[in-house]
C-alpha cells in the first residue's frame, strides 16, 4: 500500500478527476461516451441512446439550510442533474435519490425536500425511481442520478462545435450568483442581530433570489430546437459560469472562441444587485455559476432560422481556430485572453 500522502487540495479537484478518468473498468461495447461529457451515453436499441448523470450535494459546501428552504433545494437539485441530460439534447425520464441524513433532520424536512423533488420531476416529466436512505453522523449529503434518453441522431455533445459556429446562450446569466449574494447578506444580518422575529424583505430581490433558489432547467429550449428541426453542433449547461463552460467546449471541440462581453445577456435586476454590492456585474456574468441556462453552438444559417421562432437566446461569440485560444472582447474593445485551454 502506498504510504505517500498527497492532499487533494495540493493537486486540485480537476487534476484528481483527470487521474480518476484513467480507471475505466471493463470495455463494454454499448458504452458510447463515459466520463468527460455532461452525461454518460449508452446504446439502448438500434436508434435510441440512454443518458445517465449523477451529482452530489453536500450540506455546508453545496447548500446551506439556513437560507435554502428544503422544498426549494429539492427542486434545485433536480434542475442541476436534469440540466446535464438536457445539455446532451436528451429528455429526462427517471430519477434516483440517495440521502445520507443526520439525526438532527426531521421527517418533515425530508418530506419538504421530496415535495420539491416531486414538483420538479412532474414539471420535467420524470418518474422518481427510488434510491437509498442511510444515516450520517455528520452533515446531510444527497446524491441524485437522472436517467434520460435521446434518439441517436439527436445526440449533442461538447466536442462537435465547428469553426465559425455562433456561440449562443439562453436566457440571462449571473442572476443566480446575484441572488446568492443577497441571501448571504441577509444571513449575515440575521446572525449579527439574532432577531428571529425580523423576516428579511426579499421582495425587491425576488427575481434574483428565485434564480438562486428555484432555477428552472431549460427543457423548453431543446423541445423548441427539436420542434424547428435545429440540432446544435455542441451544447453544455451553465453550471459553473460562461468562461468555464466555453473553455470546456473549446477543449473538447479542439477550437478557440472569441466572446463579446457586450453581448452577454444580463438582467437589469442582476445589475442592480451588483451596483448595490459595489461589485463588478461582469464577474457575475462571466464567472457566476448555477444559472442552468444552456450554451450551444450553431452554424450561422441555423441561427437565422431559429431566431424567427425563439428569441430567448443571445449570440455571444464565435468558435475560432484552436491557436487563437479563448478571447474575450470587452465593451471598450480590449482583448482579454484566457490561457486555460492548454
Q: Segment 24-63, which members bind a copy of itself (CB under 8 A)?
A: 24-28, 30-31, 34-36, 40, 42, 44-46, 48, 50, 52-58, 60-62
In the structure grid, which three cell numbers stand for residue 297, read together?
A: 453552438
Q: Does 335 bind a copy of itself (CB under 8 A)?
A: no
* Binding mask of the shown chain, residues 145 to 184, with x at each position contacting a copy of itself by CB under 8 A: x-x-------------------------------------
Task: State the DSSP code for 228.
Answer: T
CB-wise, 84 or 172, nearer to a copy of itself?
Answer: 84
CB-wise, 114 or 310, nearer to a copy of itself?
Answer: 114
As beta bridge partners, residue 35 has 37
Judged by CB under 8 A, the residue of 67, 73, 75, 124 near a copy of itself is 124
**Segment near a copy of itself (CB under 8 A), from 4-12, 202-210, 228-236, 285-293?**
4-12
b/e 62-85 (16+ beta carbons within 10 angstroms → b):
bbeeebbebbbbbbbbbbbbbbbb
In the structure grid, which three cell numbers stand for residue 59, read together?
A: 450540506
How many Cα atoms within 13 Å fall on the side-chain side of residue 164? 4
Judged by CB under 8 A, the residue of 82, 86, 88, 141 near a copy of itself is 141
- How far from the centroid of its chain's Cα atoms is residue 249's Cα? 14
**Of 326, 310, 304, whose CA–CA distance to 170 is shortest?**
310
* Binding mask of the shown chain, residues 244 to 283, with x at each position contacting a copy of itself by CB under 8 A: ----------------------------------------
Q: Does 134 bind a copy of itself (CB under 8 A)?
A: yes
CB distance 92 to 124 below 8 Å = yes
First vs last Cα of the chain: how many Å apart? 34
Judged by CB under 8 A, the residue of 64, 68, 94, 185 near a copy of itself is 94
In the structure grid, which three cell numbers stand for residue 109, read together?
A: 424536512
Q: Does 223 bind a copy of itself (CB under 8 A)?
A: no
Amino acid at each position: 500500500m502506498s504510504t505517500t500522502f498527497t492532499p487533494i487540495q495540493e493537486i486540485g479537484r480537476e487534476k484528481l478527476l483527470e487521474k480518476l478518468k484513467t480507471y475505466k473498468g471493463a470495455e463494454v461495447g454499448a458504452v458510447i461516451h463515459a466520463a468527460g461529457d455532461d452525461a454518460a451515453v449508452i446504446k439502448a436499441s438500434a436508434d435510441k441512446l440512454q443518458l445517465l448523470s449523477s451529482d452530489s450535494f453536500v450540506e455546508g459546501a453545496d447548500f446551506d439550510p439556513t437560507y435554502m428552504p428544503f422544498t426549494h433545494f429539492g427542486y434545485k437539485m433536480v434542475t442541476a442533474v436534469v440540466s446535464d441530460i438536457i445539455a446532451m439534447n436528451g429528455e429526462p425520464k427517471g430519477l434516483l435519490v440517495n440521502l445520507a441524513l443526520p439525526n438532527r433532520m426531521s421527517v418533515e424536512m425530508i418530506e419538504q425536500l421530496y415535495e420539491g423533488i416531486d414538483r420538479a420531476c412532474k414539471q420535467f416529466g420524470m418518474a422518481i425511481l427510488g434510491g437509498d436512505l442511510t444515516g450520517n453522523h455528520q452533515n446531510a449529503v444527497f446524491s441524485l442520478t437522472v436517467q434520460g434518453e435521446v434518439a441517436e441522431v439527436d445526440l449533442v455533445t461538447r466536442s462537435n462545435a465547428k469553426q465559425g459556429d455562433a456561440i449562443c446562450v439562453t436566457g440571462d446569466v449571473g442572476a443566480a450568483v446575484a441572488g446568492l449574494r443577497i441571501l448571504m447578506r441577509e444571513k449575515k444580518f440575521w446572525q449579527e442581530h439574532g432577531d428571529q422575529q425580523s423576516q428579511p424583505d426579499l421582495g425587491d430581490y425576488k427575481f434574483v433570489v428565485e434564480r438562486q433558489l428555484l432555477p428552472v432547467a431549460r427543457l423548453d429550449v431543446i423541445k423548441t430546437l427539436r420542434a424547428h428541426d435545429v440540432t446544435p453542433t455542441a451544447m453544455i449547461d451553465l453550471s459553473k459560469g460562461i468562461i468555464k463552460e466555453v473553455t470546456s467546449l473549446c477543449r473538447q471541440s479542439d477550437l478557440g472562441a472569441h466572446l463579446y462581453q457586450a453581448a452577454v445577456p444580463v438582467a437589469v435586476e442582476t445589475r442592480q444587485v451588483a451596483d448595490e454590492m459595489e461589485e463588478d456585474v461582469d464577474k457575475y456574468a462571466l464567472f457566476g455559476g448555477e444559472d442552468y441556462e444552456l450554451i450551444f453552438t450553431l452554424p450561422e444559417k441555423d441561427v437565422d432560422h431559429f431566431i424567427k421562432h425563439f428569441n430567448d437566446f443571445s449570440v455571444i461569440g464565435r468558435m475560432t481556430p484552436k491557436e487563437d485560444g479563448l478571447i474575450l472582447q470587452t465593451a471598450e474593445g480590449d482583448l482579454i485572453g484566457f490561457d486555460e485551454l492548454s
